[in-house]
Amino acid sequence: MFELFFRALPLLKMAIVATLSLGVVSFICGASLGLLIALARTSIYRVFRSLAFAYVSVFRGTPLLVQILLIYFGLPYYGIELGPFAAAALALTLYIAAYLSEDFRAGIRAVDRGQWEAGMSLGMGYWKNQVRIILPQGLRISTPSVASRLIGLMKDTSLASTVTVVELTRVANTLGAATFRYMDMFLIVGAIYWLISQALTIAQTLIEDRLSRRY
């Protein structure tokens, strides 16, 4: 197995970069979109709440693989052509945003209503109150679940192999077919996914400890 690992190392290095890039880009974009959706879900306006609820319902209620295939193979029918990486990143962004929005919404809802009322009594408007009082506390509360989403997202990037993104799973499948050593290749790639998850778990623990000391 070690001989196969060193033979596959050049491709694995590129695949790890592709996997991490896909996961990080999708998470950052998804977190930004998810926060907007969470604010819409907690809005006083029914139309915003309804639209946000519909978005979450659709993207949480359909498989991620179907979403990737729809974006990669379906959008060209309407004249929108995306490369494999862009299509996978868009699908992962839209998908993770639905889940992150619920994590953010739970964190915002967990902030005592008295905090909101105190800010309003000081003359703060809606956005100033959100930015200075509600969101800092809500995001801190939602940190554990948001970090868990990132770990899950890194593993979900494996589905990008279905649209020819050369990430870890794609490399394992390609080299497994070339060498007829599928078991060894997928064990190697599984170990790499595990190492990535463990590194993110350690980072999550450190961030949580730091935030808990501040409060």
The total of structural domains in the chain comes to: 1
Residue 89 belongs to domain spanning: 2-214
DSSP per position, 168-184: HHHHHHHHHHHHT-HHH
Reading the block at residue 154, the tokens are 């890194």
Tell me how far apart the alpha carbons of residues 184 and 163 are, in angstroms, rounded to a whole number. Answer: 23
Helix (H) or strand (E) holding 118: helix 113-121
Average pLDDT over residues 48-66: 94
The larger pLDDT score, comparing residue 67 to residue 182, is at 67
* Predicted pLDDT at 140: 85
Q: What is the pLDDT of residues 143-185, one digit of tens each?
A: 889 999 999 999 999 999 888 888 888 888 888 888 888 888 8
Reading the block at residue 117, the tokens are 């009322």
Tell me how far apart the alpha carbons of residues 135 and 141 are, in angstroms, rounded to a whole number. Answer: 10
Nearest to 19 by CA among 138, 132, 178, 169: 169
Average pLDDT over residues 46-50: 92
pLDDT-derived band at 207 (thresholds 50, 70, 90) equals confident
* Predicted pLDDT at 25: 95
* Predicted pLDDT at 21: 94
Q: Which of 5-19, 63-77, 188-202 has the lowest mean pLDDT?
A: 5-19
Average pLDDT over residues 75-95: 92
Nearest to 91 by CA among 29, 36, 39: 29
Instruction: Output 85-91 pairs: Cβ under 8 A, ≥24 positions apart.
Output: 85/18, 85/22, 85/160, 85/165, 87/163, 88/22, 88/157, 88/159, 88/160, 88/163, 88/165, 89/22, 89/25, 89/26, 89/29, 91/64, 91/67
Tell me how far apart the alpha carbons of residues 170 and 1 are, in angstroms, rounded to a whole number. Answer: 18
The larger pLDDT score, comparing residue 94 to residue 140, is at 94
Residue 215 pLDDT > 60, yes or no? no
Tell me how far apart the alpha carbons of residues 101 and 112 are, in angstroms, rounded to a whole number. Answer: 19
Average pLDDT over residues 77-96: 93
Average pLDDT, the chain: 87
Average pLDDT over residues 87-102: 95
Most confident of 54-58, 120-124, 206-210: 54-58
The CATH number of the domain where 176 resides is what?
1.10.3720.10
Helices and strands (H, E) in the chain, number of each type: 10, 0
Residue 200 pLDDT > 80, yes or no? yes
Residue 74 pLDDT > 80, yes or no? yes
